Structure 1
């Protein structure tokens, strides 16, 4: 049986099913760029975590303009 401490949940896609790119190339649903959306399945867990961590800042920057 695998050691539970060594098993981690994969970073899930932040997609909420809106999937519409704005003029800034950010999806208005998840705040990822078109490239990040297209490449998501090929990213490592570390890359997914980095991108996911950036998303709240992107949303905040968008609404603070």
Structure 2
């Protein structure tokens, strides 16, 4: 009986510790990816796409830039 008590206590401790480690704390230096916005910059005979997180000329979308327009 004592052996089973130690076994179940060990399993319980492992389960609780794994749940604590599974919690994800978001990095305070990063923004919310759901708030990403795209726009079109159009001026000086150049048209290109840009995002509010610093990406210019969205690579997968072709054409991502146009000159001369």
Q: TM-score range by the shorter chain?
A: under 0.3
**Greater strand content:** 2
Structure with the bigger RCO (C-alpha within 8 Å, sep 6+) is 1
Relative to the length of structure 1, the TM-score reads: 0.24
